[in-house]
Amino acid sequence: MIPSAFAYETPSTVEEAAALLAEHGDDAKILAGGHSLIPLMKLRLAAPEVLIDIGNIEGLSGISTDNGQVTVGAGTTHSTLEDSDALGTACPLLQQTAAIIGDRQVRNLGTIGGSLAHGDPAADLPAAVLALEAELTAVSANGSRTIAADSFFTGPLMTALGDDELLTTITVPATSGQSGAAYVKNAHPASGYALCGVAAVVTVGADGKCERARIGITGVGSTPMRAMAVEAALTGQELTADNIAAAAGQAAEGLDLNDDLFASAEYRGHLVRVYTRRAVEQAAAQAGG
């Protein structure tokens, strides 16, 4: 099908994009990589009156490290994340996650900001930013604000971004020497989206016990979420195989599991326990646990 008619804007600055959003409100949509929006428009499931293409905004993409933090521009493509040696050193979890999104063609155009702003509950990057406790910066004509990853995903294809806001940066802490991180997923064989995806970040103390654990889960529910029961079970424990397995057994606690044509709720509950164990084991090995 052919999309309905729309006006096409190509702002050159974040300020111009924010002004256009303020002018058109919910009649406008941001175009980043376009992998999600364009198919929806062709199916007439989305019909924005104004399309705001942010691909030409200088400074909206790139990776920088400073004072123990990594800042990624929202317009940075998945392939840039995948190929960045600096990111591989400072925050390997983001690099690892980006490298298994879709295929190379998707990664060449898709952007981290576009993926997060779309809020797909089966996307890969939301699990990583939850485990990393990322901070996301949103800009509107009225200024900017910072949104914690924990508060960003509000429902299926829904986020805390306002209709007049543009996501500009994602900031995460650099991975320390005592920390390890991993992302693993069970992918749908056709789409590559996660039936279950788990990102784990663990920090091990000098005594060999887990000082801190953060687990982000995607694909199993209506929105990406943290597995707080697993985090609590791991904290203060030695990261032995038995302790990790026991903690991972709680991964489905408090989750409203999807039950659809792709997988039953029971099967997703099984997957989330198995993949949480695998993610934590890999992260613990990197942290020397």
Question: CATH top-level class for 7-53?
Answer: alpha beta
pLDDT number for residue 176: 85
| CATH number for the segment(s) 181-286 | 3.30.390.50
* Domain boundaries along the sequence of the chain: 7-53, 63-173, 181-286
CA separation, residue 273 to residues 2, 53, 69, 234, 247 (Å): 43, 40, 31, 14, 9
pLDDT number for residue 254: 87
Tell me the average confidence (pLDDT) per consecutive run of 10 residues in the chain, 289 residues long: 92 96 94 89 93 93 95 97 96 97 93 95 97 98 97 96 96 92 95 95 95 97 96 97 98 92 94 98 87
The domain defined by 63-173 folds into: 3.30.465
The model's pTM is 0.95
pLDDT number for residue 289: 46
pLDDT number for residue 36: 87
CA separation, residue 263 to residues 32, 115, 187, 267, 269 (Å): 30, 23, 12, 6, 10
pLDDT number for residue 157: 93
pLDDT number for residue 194: 94
pLDDT tens sequence across 102-152? 999 999 999 999 999 999 999 999 999 999 999 999 999 999 999 999 999
Q: What angle do CA 284, 287, 289 make, to 5 degrees?
A: 55
Closest among 170, 172, 160, 153 to 76, alpha carbons compared: 170
